[in-house]
Amino acid sequence: MITITKEEAKNISSLLGFLQAMEQIRLNYLLENNATEEDTATIRTRLKEVGQVMQKLN
């Protein structure tokens, strides 16, 4: 198991928040341009995974 400080967790959480925002923008763009479920599946999975990691950090 890896141990990180509260400050490191805060920094990682901030970076993940940025990643989450960028992925959401990509997803919204695809949905606005009639993307299929298959087209958006990878982004949706990534958003779920990032959310899970952020919950563990908080």
Task: Please report the pLDDT score of residue 58 as a whole number.
Answer: 77
How far apart CA 2 and CA 20 sit, in angstroms, is 23
* C-alpha–C-alpha distance, residues 27 and 8, integer Å: 28
pLDDT tens for each residue of 12-29: 999 999 999 999 999 999
Q: Tell which wins on pLDDT, 28 or 1.
A: 28
pTM of the entire predicted model: 0.78
Burial per residue of 19-31, b for 16 or more beta-carbon CB atoms within 10 angstroms, e otherwise: ebeebeebbeeee
Residue 5 phi/psi, 5-degree rounding, is -80, 165
pLDDT of amino acid 22: 96
